[in-house]
C-alpha cells in the first residue's frame, strides 16, 4: 500500500524528505507533479548540495553520493531492460538506483537533466567532466548560473561511442580538440586535461597569457600529454621562470591536499606566484592565491 506522504503534517513530511538520498529524491520527484512541487518547496532556499555533470556518450548528473539522473541516446534502448514510459518528447526508464531519460538529441537531453536537477534542488553545477562531445556545455553552464564552474575536467572520448564523431565535428581541429584558445578562455579554478596534444609553443603562449593577468580564477592546471614534456628546455626566457626547491601544499575544496615538491616558479605581473611541475608526459601548474589555496 503506497505511503500517503502528501497527507501527513508538513514538519513530518520535511523530516522524511531530509532523510532521502539525492538519487531517491529525484526518482520520487517523477512520481507526481504534487510531490515534485513539495520537494522544490523543501529546497526553495539555495541548497548546499553540489552537483557534477559528466558528458560523454551519455549525460550524467550526480554528486559524492552517486548519480541521480542520466540522459542517453535513444539507440541505447534496445539494450536496456527497463519498463519504458513515454513523456513530453522523451522516453523514461529506471535503473536500480536512478531514472534514465532517452532522447534523439543528446545535447537537448543533457540540458534537460541539468535544468531538472538544479531547479529541483535550487542549486548549480560545481564540476564538469567532458570529452569532445561536451565542449558546448562549458559556456552553456557558466551562462545559466551566477556562480562559475569551480572545476573542469577534459577527458578522451569513449571509442565505443557509435555517434561521437558525427556530433563532435564542429569542435575538431586537425585532431586537436583542445587548443590554446580553449585553454585561455575556460573560466575555472581547477582545470584538468587528459591526452593533450598542445605544443611547447602553445604552452608558452598560455603562460604569457596567465602572466599578463589572464585566467585570474585559475588555481590548478593539470595536464597529461601523448608525448614527453621537456623541461626547462621549452620555457620562453621572457617568462622569467626559475627553478625552486620549495615544498608547498595545495588544498582542494573537498579538503584533500596535493603536495608540490620543487619544480619551477613563475610570477604574474601583479605579484601572484605559481609553481610548475613537469615529469615526462605530465604538466601541473598550481597558483598560490592569497585565499589559502
Alpha-carbon span 194 to 242, nearest angstrom: 26
pLDDT of residue 284: 93
Report which secondary-structure segment, H or E, holds 226. Answer: none
Per-residue pLDDT reduced to its tens digit, 123-176: 999 999 888 778 889 889 989 998 888 888 877 666 555 444 433 333 335 334
Distances (CA, A) of 73 to 118, 164, 167: 21, 11, 12
| pLDDT tier, 1 (very low <50, low <70, confident <90, very high otherwise) | very low
Per-residue pLDDT reduced to its tens digit, 283-292: 899 999 875 4
Contact 16, 39 (CB under 8 A): no
Alpha-carbon span 30 to 28, nearest angstrom: 5
pLDDT of residue 215: 92
Per-residue pLDDT reduced to its tens digit, 174-229: 334 678 888 898 888 888 887 788 888 899 999 999 999 999 989 999 988 877 66
pLDDT of residue 186: 80
Contact 219, 190 (CB under 8 A): yes
Per-residue pLDDT reduced to its tens digit, 233-245: 778 999 999 999 9
pLDDT of residue 270: 93
Alpha-carbon span 243 to 232, nearest angstrom: 9
Q: Give me the mean pLDDT over the 267-277 stretch.
A: 95
If one compares 95 and 248, the residue with the highest pLDDT of the two is: 248
Contact 40, 48 (CB under 8 A): no
DSSP string, 128-183: EEE-GGGTHHHHHHHHHSSSPPSEEEE-PPPTT-TTHHHHHGGG-STT--S-HHHH
Map residue 59 onto helix, strand or coil. strand
Per-residue pLDDT reduced to its tens digit, 6-46: 566 666 667 777 778 899 889 888 888 887 888 887 776 66
Map residue 237 onto helix, strand or coil. helix
pLDDT of residue 274: 96
Amino acid at each position: 500500500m503506497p505511503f500517503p506522504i502528501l497527507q501527513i503534517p508538513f514538519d513530518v513530511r520535511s523530516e522524511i524528505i531530509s532523510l532521502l538520498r539525492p538519487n531517491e529524491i529525484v526518482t520520487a520527484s517523477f512520481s507526481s507533479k504534487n510531490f515534485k512541487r513539495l520537494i522544490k518547496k523543501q529546497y526553495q532556499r539555495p541548497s548546499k548540495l553540489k552537483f557534477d555533470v559528466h558528458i560523454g556518450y551519455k549525460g550524467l548528473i550526480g554528486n559524492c553520493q552517486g548519480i541521480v539522473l542520466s540522459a542517453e541516446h535513444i539507440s541505447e534502448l534496445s539494450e536496456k531492460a527497463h519498463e519504458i514510459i513515454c513523456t513530453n518528447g522523451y522516453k523514461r526508464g529506471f535503473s536500480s538506483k536512478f531514472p534514465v531519460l532517452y532522447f534523439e538529441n543528446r545535447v537537448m537531453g543533457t540540458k534537460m537533466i541539468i535544468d531538472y536537477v538544479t531547479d529541483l534542488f535550487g542549486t548549480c553545477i560545481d564540476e564538469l567532466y567532458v570529452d569532445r562531445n561536451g565542449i558546448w556545455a562549458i559556456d552553456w553552464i557558466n551562462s545559466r548560473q551566477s556562480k562559475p564552474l569551480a572545476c573542469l575536467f577534459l577527458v578522451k572520448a569513449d571509442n565505443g561511442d557509435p555517434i561521437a564523431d558525427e556530433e563532435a565535428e564542429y569542435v575538431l581541429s586537425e585532431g586537436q580538440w583542445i587548443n590554446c584558445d580553449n585553454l585561455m578562455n575556460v573560466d575555472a579554478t581547477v582545470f584538468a586535461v587528459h591526452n593533450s596534444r598542445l605544443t611547447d609553443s602553445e604552452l608558452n603562449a598560455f603562460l604569457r597569457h596567465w602572466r599578463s593577468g589572464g585566467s585570474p580564477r585559475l588555481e590548478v592546471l593539470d595536464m597529461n600529454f601523448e608525448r614527453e614534456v621537456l623541461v626547462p628546455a621549452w620555457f620562453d626566457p621572457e617568462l622569467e621562470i626559475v627553478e625552486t626547491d620549495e615544498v608547498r601544499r595545495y588544498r582542494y575544496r573537498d579538503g584533500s591536499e596535493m603536495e608540490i615538491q620543487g619544480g619551477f616558479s613563475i610570477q604574474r605581473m601583479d605579484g601572484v606566484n605559481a609553481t610548475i611541475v613537469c615529469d615526462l608526459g605530465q604538466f601541473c601548474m598550481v597558483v598560490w592565491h592569497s585565499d589559502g589555496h
